[in-house]
């Protein structure tokens, strides 16, 4: 298979087209602008491809709703403030059980913030983000190769569960150049009965999110909840790196996990047995896998480019079975492996374990 050198944002766009995405709507915002730029040209090269630069983020997500309802594989992308504007539409996608892929290349916040890489949107992504009882499958890649692989997987998951799926990365990953190999996409499996094709013979089909009867709305919520339980049982993904003999486990995702791997190399050379637990599915969070690890490892340190959001899921998973420390750099500051390794050395004592939080 051919290996190509590509920028992360363009990797996502190319993977989406190869996965069968034929509709993209978006609005410019740094640091993800290369995605719509690439899609504007690439979708012209494939049969049925449609690109729309919408008048706003709100318009973009609602265009995706319409395209998805017709059975078209559809995607939008943005960065943190833009994703906030899309939340009503994402809630509508979940309510109508429509598949779509949403890409968030996170930047520093809150508010307009800055265009530096950050991980401050974890709560927004993993808790639904919009109104009502719903969930979004969230995938957290840490390399350009995973940007390619998980983007393709995202379309398959969206179809399988009739649900929006979010790729949660950041500005650094989007701008980084790395070699990738694009895997062969799987044949699409999505019943014609779920697609709106306009007036014609047979019984009318319709898709709706407005359910005014409270009892009917309650049953719809329970239907969604049962689906989310199935997803939580079947779709968790994680990576364990050098955890076999580890006395301390770093927990990190995305760009944070790349930094953690560099720190682990330094710490191992200094004689500290440190490993990494990396959630790949941020929702559903790999709770059981982390809990099993906590049965034999007493010390964990969560590292995020935020003030500590995934930290809450780690605490819920471990349930007091181990000590948990934290180190974070919010607002667009990116730690180095050297900085993180120094933090671990300061915080960790072999006899007492985690001694303090930073």
Q: Does residue 214 register a pLDDT over 90?
A: yes
CATH 3.40.50.920 in the chain is located at 239-354
Instruction: List, in order, residues 6 or more apart from 120 with CB less than 8 Å away.
Output: 80, 106, 108, 109, 110, 305, 306, 307, 309, 330, 331
Bridge partners of 78, per DSSP, are 104
* CATH architecture designation of domain 3-234: 3-Layer(aba) Sandwich (3.40)
> For residue 248, what are the CA distances in angstroms to 70, 165, 252, 347?
50, 32, 13, 11
Q: How far apart are CA 15 and CA 11, in angstroms?
A: 6
pLDDT reading at 355 higher than 70: no
Q: What is the pLDDT of residues 43-89, one digit of tens each?
A: 999 999 999 999 999 999 999 999 999 999 999 999 999 999 999 99
Query: By C-alpha distance, which of 181, 179, 315, 173 is closest to 255?
Result: 173
Compute how many other C-beta atoms are within 10 angstroms of the C-beta atom of residue 169. 30
CA distance 237 to 239: 7
Domain 239-354 grouped into CATH 3.40.50.920: yes
The owner of tokens 């943190």 is 80
β-strand 100-106 against 274-279: which pairing, if any?
A: unpaired
**Residue 202, token pair as written in the block:** 């047979």
**Which pLDDT value is given to residue 358?**
40
pLDDT of 354 reads 62
Closest C-alpha among 300, 313, 277, 291 to residue 122: 313
How far apart are alpha carbons 63 and 48 in whole angstroms?
Answer: 16
At 302, list the tokens: 């969560």
pLDDT reported for residue 248: 96
**Considering the entire predicted model, what is its pTM?**
0.96
CATH 3.40.50.970 positions along the chain are 3-234
Task: Tell me the β-bridge partners of 23.
Answer: 50, 74
């Amino acid at each position: 298979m051919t290996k190509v050198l590509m920028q992360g944002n363009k990797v996502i766009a190319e993977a989406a087209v190869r996965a069968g995405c034929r509709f993209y709507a978006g609005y410019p915002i740094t640091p993800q602008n290369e995605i719509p730029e690439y899609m504007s040209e690439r979708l012209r090269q494939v049969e049925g491809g449609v690109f729309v630069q919408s008048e706003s983020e709100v318009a973009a997500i609602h265009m995706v709703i319409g395209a998805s309802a017709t059975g078209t594989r559809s995607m939008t992308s943005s960065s943190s403030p833009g994703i906030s504007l899309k939340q009503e539409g994402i809630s509508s996608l979940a309510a109508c059980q429509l598949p779509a892929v949403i890409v968030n290349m996170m930047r520093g916040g809150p508010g307009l913030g800055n265009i530096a890489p950050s991980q401050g949107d974890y709560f927004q992504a993993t808790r639904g983000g919009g109104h009502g009882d719903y969930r979004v499958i969230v995938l957290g890649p840490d390399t350009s190769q995973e940007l390619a692989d998980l983007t393709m997987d995202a379309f398959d998951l969206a179809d399988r569960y009739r649900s929006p799926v979010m790729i949660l990365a950041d500005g650094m990953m989007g701008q980084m150049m790395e070699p990738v190999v694009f895997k062969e996409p799987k044949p699409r499996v999505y019943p014609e009965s779920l697609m709106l094709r306009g007036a014609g013979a047979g019984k009318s089909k319709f898709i709706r999110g407005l359910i005014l009867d409270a009892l009917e709305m309650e049953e719809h919520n329970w239907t969604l909840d049962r689906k989310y339980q199935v997803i939580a049982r079947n779709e968790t993904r994680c990576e364990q790196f050098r955890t076999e003999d580890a006395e301390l486990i770093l927990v990190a995702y995305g760009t944070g996990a790349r930094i953690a791997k560099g720190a682990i190399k330094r710490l191992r050379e200094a004689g500290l047995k440190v490993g990494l637990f990396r959630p790949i599915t941020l929702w559903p969070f790999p709770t059981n896998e982390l809990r099993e690890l906590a049965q034999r490892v007493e010390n964990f340190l969560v590292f995020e480019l935020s003030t500590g959001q995934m930290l809450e899921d780690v605490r819920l998973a471990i349930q007091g079975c181990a000590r948990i420390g934290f180190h974070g750099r919010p607002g667009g500051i990116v730690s180095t492996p050297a900085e993180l390794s120094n933090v671990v050395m300061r915080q960790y004592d072999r006899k007492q374990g985690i001694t303090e939080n930073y």
